[in-house]
Amino acid sequence: MIGPVTTALLATPALAAAALALLTQRVARKVETALPPRGRFIDVPGTRLHVRELGSGPALLLVHGLGGQMAHFTYGLAQRLADRYRVIVVDRPGSGYSQRHAGGAGLRTQAAALAALIDTLGLERAIVVGHSLGGAVALTLALEHPDRVAGLALLAPLTQAQDEVPPAFRALTIKSEAVRTALAWTLATPGGMARGAAVLREVFAPEPVPQDFAVKGGGLLSLRPSQFLAAAADLQALPDELPALHARYASLRLPVAVLFGREDRILDWQRHGAGLAAAVPGAVLETVAGGHMLPVTQPDVAAAFVDAAAQRALAPARQVASP
């Protein structure tokens, strides 16, 4: 017969899990109240995307990186470009407030959703700005849907498979979807609250994390279970697609520009920046003193880079249009 002590011991893990799940739900609700959606929702095949537009002019589509959302760009970069471009910022499928259906984490699937967004918005061909993992999505978009992309401006892009996951993202490396789901609703949120500041310091290093990044940069949104699950699925999908993507870079026939911080501690600029520039005909590589989060830490530098890249991409079209 099971005695009261044994019953209590068996119940303790379940009670702890229930308490953690309740905490997770409360934190997620508070975060979503503090940082509600700022854009509109657009349905495309396979998902619903959260999109925000600023300005008018030639179209720029801004694609954020792993674990991020559109506020990485609206922190400062998007506004600096909106006086001369139609700037479209989007939460990638599964990130921020965009939805993701089962099996939607792959680069090609995400690129297809963005191609559908370009069509829905009537952009014809957009200049795509990709940061970090968003750079890999942008490259996939250009390779899979070349008629939708006029040029690429890539900020610290992920371009090749990595032998090791950066320490800041190792919590996302669990392969079992069931275990990831259990963690998302129990330990991920309190763990993020405990280690969030340290993780951000790793991601931003050697530059400081802005004091207002948690709110203005949307950092608090990473505490939601959905964000943890999306980022983990993104990371798990990469090994199956990046090698084949890398093998196709030489076939790109559009203007490609790359900006990297030389002190980037997440992605090595020589491997991911110089390597891409060497593989893509005519690609331009620029480096600056700084780390991985250039859209946030150096928005003026990033805006000048994107503007120059956009003007190069637009020049052929202008020449064709000239009498």
Which pTM was predicted? 0.92
CB 127 within 8 A of CB 101: no
DSSP bridge partners of 261:
288
> How big is the chain, counted in residues?
323
Tens-digit pLDDT profile for residues 2-20: 555 444 434 577 788 888 8
What is the average pLDDT value for the chain, to the nearest integer?
92
Give pLDDT, residue 15. 82
CA-to-CA distance for 181 and 175, rounded, in angstroms?
Answer: 11
Please give the average per-residue pLDDT across 49-65, as a whole number.
98
Tens-digit pLDDT profile for residues 191-246: 999 999 999 999 999 999 999 999 999 999 999 999 999 999 999 999 999 999 99
Q: Could you tell me the CA-to-CA distances from 316 to 143, 204, 281, 304 in Å, in that order?
A: 19, 36, 16, 20
Q: Which two tokens stand for residue 187?
A: 């330990």
List, in order of start, the domains of the chain with CATH numbers. 36-164+238-315 (3.40.50.1820)
CA-to-CA distance for 43 and 267, rounded, in angstroms?
Answer: 33
What distance lies between CA 173 and its chain's CA centroid? 17
What string of DSSP letters covers 158-194? --S--SS--GGGGGG----HHHHHHHHTTTHHHHHHH
More confident: 171 or 273: 273
DSSP bridge partners of 139:
none
Tens-digit pLDDT profile for residues 68-127: 999 999 999 999 999 999 999 999 999 999 998 877 789 999 999 999 999 999 998 999
Residue 209's nearest CA partner among 305, 297, 90 is 297
